[in-house]
Amino acid sequence: MSTRSIGLDDELYPYLLDVSLRESPLLAELRAETARLPEARMQIAPEQGQFMAMLARLAGARRYLEIGTFTGYSTLAIAQALPSDGRIVACDLSREWTDIARRYWRRAGVEERVDLRLGPASETLQALRDDAATEPFDLAFIDADKTGYAAYYEHCLELLAPGGLVMIDNTLWHGSVADRSDQREDTVAIREFNRKLYRDDRVELSLVPIGDGLTLARKHIA
Ligand code: CA
């Protein structure tokens, strides 16, 4: 069994957190507050936030594009991994959720780094592409409506610098992507999206079984 990714059962997962999760008190507080919302399951796992922050540092990312901000956990985790001149464009539909996010960004002293765009992400992304002043992004994260993934991904590839990385959440969709009898709209959308990325020779690809599955697609340099 040493040649495949290990599954995390109820004993091993807490162990992983115990020996590796270094969550700041502010992130922990945000996670606890979000856990009280009915939509709590939309929040990324804490070890995933830590992993994404490490990727941001490894990439030397300065400009980060986020599609689906929710209560701002991923935004905050990555904001703290950007240099002081780092900039974030964060897209979401909900004022209510992002009001929570903004409170925590302010407390962390990163609020001025975040350009929050409320509205349909497809419109925000098109506006960014249409604006000649938009600088390329180094890093992007897609975690919004699943039927929109394919379009968001295409926008991201256009907006990323060569060598830039796009991270896509929920690509294992609680395992349902492998269950052919599951024909729900979101499941089908993610299944087709995964297949599309597999065939996409514009990117280097890895699907990491962290959280609910995090796909990394790095835009080729040339
Ligand atoms: Ca998600």
Give per-residue pLDDT as tens, 102-152: 999 999 999 999 999 999 999 999 999 999 999 999 999 999 999 999 999
Distance from the CA of 133 to the center of ligand 1, in angstroms? Answer: 30
Distance from the CA of 142 to the center of ligand 1, in angstroms? Answer: 8
Mean pLDDT of the chain: 97
Distance from the CA of 53 to the center of ligand 1, in angstroms? Answer: 16
Predicted local distance difference test score (pLDDT) of residue 19: 98
Q: Which residues contact 199 (CB under 8 A, 6 or more apart)?
A: none
Distance from the CA of 189 to the center of ligand 1, in angstroms? Answer: 14
Q: Which residues contact 120 (CB under 8 A, 6 or more apart)?
A: 93
Q: Is a pLDDT exceeding 90 seen at residue 3?
A: no
Query: Which phi-psi region, left, alpha or beta, contains residue 170 (left: φ > 0; alpha: ψ -120 to 50)?
Result: left
66: phi then psi, degrees, rounded to nearest 5: -120, 130
Distance from the CA of 170 to the center of ligand 1, in angstroms? Answer: 5
Q: Is a pLDDT exceeding 60 seen at residue 160?
A: yes
Amino acid (one-letter) located at 58: L
Query: Can you list the domains of the chain with their CATH numbers?
Result: 12-219 (3.40.50.150)
Predicted local distance difference test score (pLDDT) of residue 1: 53
Residues paired with residue 117 on neighbouring β-strands, in sequence order: 91
Instruction: Calculate what percentage of the chain has a pLDDT beyond 90.
Output: 96
Distance from the CA of 111 to the center of ligand 1, in angstroms? Answer: 22
What b/e readout covers 27-65, taking b as 16+ CB neighbours within 10 angstroms?
A: beebbeebeeeeeeebbbbbbbbbbbbebbeebebbbbb
Instruction: Report the pLDDT averaged over residues 27-45.
Output: 96
User: What predicted TM-score, i.e. pTM, was given to this entire model?
Assistant: 0.97
Instruction: Report the pLDDT averaged over residues 22-41.
Output: 96
Q: Is a pLDDT exceeding 60 seen at residue 200?
A: yes
Angle at 63 between CA 158 and CA 17, to 5 degrees: 110
